[in-house]
A and B are shown apart, each in its own frame.
Chain A
């Protein structure tokens, strides 16, 4: 307790002086304030998302009209789309960079970076992150990673193009494709910076959550958002270093002539000197990160949707403990399922069987989460704010995409589905769309906390319905291409007789994708317009229980003027019988809500139970009313 008091005093001082010292640079650029860093992550994430979405539209155009030329493509892309037609090499670069940006820069940094930074201190009651300086570095490493990744579009040989998984030898042997030259080097540098950024962020999140919770905020009183960010950070800390190890070995193979991933390779008739390595090694190292990575992407989204669904259903989240345990279960299991990406890559088939078992086990906690969401909606009093719409959309995508995972996690079925459009459809629903919807739900929900203003709800409605419908129109038909044996990353479907029947579907999907992309204009306009012109936000716009809504709307360094509020109860006391309002913030002590207290609330504290019983005896009317 004394440490908290000391800490308060120190930060309070800081807050008082802060106003004098702040300059443009220290406030907006090299800021160490977690709220500003969150905004930086978010805006950078949004810009990267727009770029990656633009890339996807480019390759969707190629897939829909493989034998037409579009002069505007040449205007934008120059020699990579000579005569208005995207070249096969550049097509692969587009899919590679689209995947890399979306997975790492948007759904990892943009999602986890934004909301962990914003919400961890505000929801646990801390003045700032444990290490604000490290936090600032985390953003700037991420920013550099983005710049370097994008710079690869401006070099002669083009960006990396071996797919976002950059399997060697394709990505290592420069002769294998133009993208494996300088573009791949830039990809690796960018990835090292990105991992450094993630680690600095992750260590910060974990230490902040463990050490800096306000008085009364024990682990079981934390909102599910915090649990999700906490477990995501642990997952990142344990798995990202493995990717760096893999990346360093790849740098050695590419630049210093080692043979970690290479052996017995002949390019044409040119015999390479590398011996003794194995390309499978990279796949193990990559997917040891890569699989936890998909949970790094989805868990914060699930945390956000838990909070948003509970607030807007005006109901406690169903099975809070089960939600936490299923997150923990996903965290632990996600480390032992990576092999399901490698069933048919030549890994020992014995391992295939083992990984299939662990993979299908991980479906159980995911199912529990889904059912708990449904139970939360049941008999709720649902307010369809834009955030709530996106959270419901997330649940729908999570179900649709999760169920197809049961096919792919089954090694025998994966034989025929591996690397087909079925996989594309699966992960774009469960990881892409679901996580993006989680992110958007978070943006709509916490925009007032970030910018002190409200976003326009009607544009939010329009944005949701267009995106939700378009996303299903894009990804649902793709399952069937996969079931027909159409492999992914094909530049055109024109060379195979059996694929030609899918060309019309491709045109349809491309139009749906364009519709989805244009719908984002509604969001972008809404977002940037509302930063400056939105309606000023009230203190607690969604009538939510969590701690961040007790902090003043006007941002200040240190979050709360004066003392940090104390927490007395869990964050999900919505519509509690016996209480007049349909929410009770975490900062309201039980002594003020005698009419609604339940025996369960006191966690076996005999003294408190006694007081409650005495009160109930003294106020029999109030009790019968409850």
Chain B
């Protein structure tokens, strides 16, 4: 075998590349081994945090890539010297890489769906949430099918139709029928999704109130970086607020001239009776926050200067959910989902869904917002006025109170 043949031989060249690569990696491996041997003496924690360490690692990687690049170049030049065409058929390389990417990628997607997909929120704990979950699942199925099929086509075509000097592409500028089909089919599928979404949306935000099952009003006020909860008291109505009345003692600016406010109660956590409609009245003192209760599929921004309202019905108690999720520490909670400042990442409150009876015991223990200081401020008699007399004083309100009490007693 002549020397020239030996140099230009394909296998020899491939071997040369391998040897170069191997020689380099083994040098690095030795370095690493040396580093490992020295490890007990040095605290590597600091090293891992120093910038120099990473710059050196990066430079080593760059060097490695440069060596591979040179090796490829040498191989190509040798092929050229041999009079053969280009050394590496990059079109074939990329086509194969796309095919590989498709296979590994699809497996990756499957892995994500099964592993990370199993770490998600439990099934909705509210009535409307079930509808949302159903629609989510339908959308997920449709989009996953489209996702997989289009990617198989995209990478499949990339693999099959890679460049070949022998072939000419197929001149195919348009086909109106096909184009009509793939305009109309997505349009139809989307129409179905839109209709379902629209009806669900309407059923969430345009509820017809059942006079026999009036919702329990709860007001939530956000501020940097905490939530305040106000229960309506015996009258079932959350009273008026006026931000101008805000003081250090009356932090929410509750207007106690409004008799509905006088029995309003404060709470450290949100306790909800299961199966009963809840009407959340959301307000904000300072900036926009977002009241987000992921387990119940409830979210609405709290906006200063306006009240936003979300109605929903919890369907599972905390205890039931603890069983379902097999987690004795499971807690419902609500949190802030709209950027609101430095403390945005920690604005949470616990939500407890309990039976009607438990709720009644709990609510009886809560204190009213109105205290002696505020009574003085609003020129009200310091001795707590019985709620009933308040209710009698306004005929119009008393009717509302009665229905609400009825609703509460149900």
Contact = CB atoms under 8 A, between A and B. Distances in A.
Contacts of A412: 131-132, 135, 197, 200-201, 204
A249 B106 CA distance: 49
Nearest to A265: B304
B339 A377 contact: no
Contacts of A364: 183, 186-187, 190
Given A169-B288, A472-B105, A399 B151 contact: yes
Interface in A480-497: 480, 483-485, 487-493, 495-497
Contacts of A410: 135, 139, 193-194, 197
A451 B187 CA distance: 44
B169 interface: yes
Nearest to B174: A319
A317 B298 CA distance: 45
A415 B204 contact: yes
B292 A485 contact: yes
A29 interface: no
Given A176-B224, A344-B301, A370-B150, A92 B342 contact: yes
Contacts of B243: 264-266, 271
Contact of A461 (B90, B167, B182): B90
Nearest to A165: B339
B28 interface: no
B91 A383 contact: yes
Contact of A349 (B162, B173, B206, B301): B206
Interface stretch (A118-126, A277-285, A545-553): A277-285
A491 B345 CA distance: 6
B348 A415 contact: no
A489 B342 CA distance: 10
B169 A476 contact: no
B120 A392 contact: no
Nearest to B163: A383
B89 to A, nearest CB: 10
Contacts of A416: 129, 132, 294, 297-299
Contacts of B178: 375
Interface in B253-308: 253, 285-288, 290, 292, 294-295, 297-301, 303-306, 308
Contacts of B179: 319, 322, 368, 372
B244 interface: yes
B201 A349 contact: yes
B120 A483 contact: yes
A166 B154 CA distance: 38
A185 to B, nearest CB: 18
A487 B292 contact: yes
B190 A572 contact: no
Interface string A348-390: 0100110011001101100110111111011111111000010
Contacts of A406: 139, 142-143, 190, 193
Interface size range on B against A: 35 or more
A439 B197 CA distance: 35
Contact of B305 (A278, A384, A419): A278
Contacts of A313: 161, 169
Contacts of A587: none
Contacts of B248: 269
Interface stretch (B93-101, B228-236, B399-407): B93-101
Nearest to B224: A176
Contact of A374 (B157, B172, B298): B157
B147 A92 contact: no
Contacts of B121: 483-485
A619 interface: no
A582 B169 contact: yes
Contact of B202 (A269, A279, A353, A381): A353
Interface stretch (B32-40, B111-119, B362-370): B111-119
Contact of B344 (A367, A372, A411, A490): A490
A392 B50 CA distance: 38
A278 B308 CA distance: 13
Contacts of A339: none
A536 interface: no
A481 to B, nearest CB: 9
Contacts of A252: none
A477 interface: yes
B380 interface: no
A568 interface: no
A72 to B, nearest CB: 5
B54 to A, nearest CB: 9
Given A267-B286, A407-B143, A413-B135, A465 B190 contact: no
Contacts of A487: 290, 292, 335-337
A115 interface: no
A505 to B, nearest CB: 7
A278 B198 CA distance: 27
Given A364-B186, A472-B105, A496 B344 contact: no
Given A360-B193, A360-B194, A483-B121, A320 B174 contact: yes
A34 interface: no
A378 B339 contact: no
A585 to B, nearest CB: 16
A324 to B, nearest CB: 12
B341 interface: yes
B287 A176 contact: yes
B169 A384 contact: no
Interface string A449-475: 000000001110110010011001000
Contacts of A484: 119-121, 294
Contacts of B288: 167, 169-170, 279, 345
A18 interface: no
A176 B174 contact: no
Contact of A163 (B62, B153, B305, B339): B339
A395 B154 contact: yes
19 contacts: A68-B49, A266-B243, A266-B246, A269-B251, A318-B174, A322-B174, A345-B301, A361-B190, A379-B161, A380-B161, A381-B167, A384-B90, A406-B143, A413-B139, A469-B101, A476-B108, A488-B337, A488-B339, A505-B116
Top-3 shortest CB links A-B: A485-B294, A263-B305, A349-B205
Interface of A: 68, 70-72, 75, 84, 87-89, 92, 162-163, 167, 169-170, 173, 176-177, 262-269, 271, 277-280, 313-322, 344-346, 349, 352-353, 356-357, 360-361, 363-364, 367-368, 370-375, 377-384, 389, 392, 395-396, 399-400, 403-404, 406-407, 410-413, 415-416, 418-420, 457-459, 461-462, 465, 468-469, 472, 476-477, 480, 483-485, 487-493, 495-497, 501-502, 505, 518, 521-522, 572, 574-577, 582
Given A364-B183, A420-B337, 15 more contacts: A71-B49, A263-B305, A265-B305, A314-B168, A374-B153, A374-B157, A377-B158, A380-B157, A382-B163, A419-B299, A476-B112, A480-B116, A483-B117, A501-B119, A576-B171
Interface of B: 49-51, 58, 61-62, 65, 69, 72, 90-91, 94-95, 97-98, 101, 105, 108-109, 112, 116-117, 119-121, 129, 131-132, 135-136, 139-140, 142-143, 146-147, 150-151, 153-155, 157-158, 161-164, 167-175, 178-179, 182-183, 186-187, 190, 193-194, 197-198, 200-202, 204-206, 223-224, 243-244, 246-248, 251, 253, 285-288, 290, 292, 294-295, 297-301, 303-306, 308, 329, 331, 333, 335-346, 348
